[in-house]
Each structure stands twice: as C-alpha cells, then as structure tokens.
C-alpha cells in the first residue's frame, strides 16, 4: 500500500480563505529565523486572507502581511476545508 505524498506550494499561491500547514521554509538562515519568530514555523497552520503581491495571512490569531518574495519561500500543504 502506497502512502500519498504531500503536494507543496508557495504560500503566495494559496487561495484566499484557504488554510495550509507550513511544511518547509526556503531561503537563508536569517530569513528562516525571522519568519519562525513571527509564527511561520514548520507545522504551523496559516490561513491566507487576501492578496497576490502582498499576502495577508492569519497565524496564531494574528494577521501578518508578507511580501511576495517572503510568501514564495514558505511552502505549505493545502488542507481540506473544515480540517482544522
């Protein structure tokens, strides 16, 4: 029996209103440390509220805006609606 694999995509491509689980951070160690301190650590749940060039997200009860470059470096697994 095969195990289904996760389909990862950048946070900026998550549709507005969708929730994803952060699976991987790309970029240099300084970037990774900064976003972890903001709550964007591996396994955290993030909901994208709106945006394309700037992504407005909700994580741990806080809304945070990320520029497109930062959102490209946060890889998420989209969760089914109602899974959280």
Hey, what domains does the chain have and what are their CATH numbers? 8-78 (2.30.30.90)
Q: Which two tokens stand for residue 22?
A: 């952060």
Rounded CA separation 2/83 (Å)? 22
The pTM of this model reads: 0.89
Inform me whether the pLDDT recorded for 84 exceeds 80. Answer: no
CA gyration radius for the chain? Answer: 12
> Smallest Cα–Cα separation from 48: which of 16, 20, 8?
16
pLDDT digits (tens, 9 = 90+) for 26-64: 999 999 999 999 999 999 999 999 998 999 999 999 999
Count of helices and strands (H, E) across the chain: 2, 6
Mean pLDDT of 73-79: 97
């Amino acid at each position: 029996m095969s195990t289904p694999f996760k389909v990862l995509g950048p946070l900026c491509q998550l549709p507005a209103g969708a929730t994803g689980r952060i699976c991987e951070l790309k970029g240099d160690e300084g970037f990774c440390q900064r976003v972890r301190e903001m709550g964007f650590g591996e396994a955290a749940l993030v909901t994208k509220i709106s945006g394309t060039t700037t992504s407005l997200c909700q994580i741990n009860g806080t809304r945070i805006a990320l520029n497109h470059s930062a959102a490209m470096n946060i890889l998420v697994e989209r969760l089914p609606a109602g899974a959280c």
